[in-house]
Amino acid sequence: MEENTKYKLEHVGDSFAESIEQILEWLRCSTKGISLTYRIHCLENDKEKSFTKIGKRTVALKPRYPLNELFSDEDMREIFQEFDSIDEELATAKKEREERLYPRMKTAEDAA
């Protein structure tokens, strides 16, 4: 038997193990990228939730402290006007939906 072939047969397990190690290293790097992307997505969602909480709290504080510096800012005033119009439109739409879904409930409320 040739020396080269003998060496290859004796070390076929080593070659196989090296191939498996390379595949596992590639897989580890690939899954790390996926998990990082997922984590970034989760953090962006958490950031948006925080913005929402800040906005909700600010809207809740507006009626209590209308003279606060935050509410006298021109940009904030425009944002609040936009919010108020959207809120009114939403309330109207919800009321209309309730009237359409439960037409007899309105008459029951009026009678009471």
**Whether residue 74 sits in one domain with residue 108:** yes
Q: What does the alpha-carbon distance between residue 25 and residue 19 come to, in Å, rounded to a whole number?
A: 10
The pLDDT value recorded for residue 110 is 55
| Same domain for 57 and 3 | yes
Domain identity same for 54 and 79 = no
Provide the 10 A C-beta neighbour count for residue 88: 10
SS percent in the chain: helix, strand, coil, step 5: 90, 0, 10
Is residue 104 predicted with pLDDT exceeding 70?
yes
Do 28 and 76 lie in a common domain? no
Specify the pTM. Answer: 0.50
Residues 51 and 3 in one domain: yes
Domain that holds residue 36: 1-61
- Which CA distances in Å does 77 have to 45, 60, 61, 83? 27, 14, 14, 10
Q: Are 80 and 62 in contact (CB under 8 A)?
A: yes
Domain boundary among 61, 78, 98: 61
Count the domains in the chain: 2
Over residues 25-62, the pLDDT tens digits come to: 888 777 777 777 788 888 888 888 888 888 888 888 88
- pLDDT one-digit tens code per residue, 66-87: 888 777 778 888 888 888 888 8
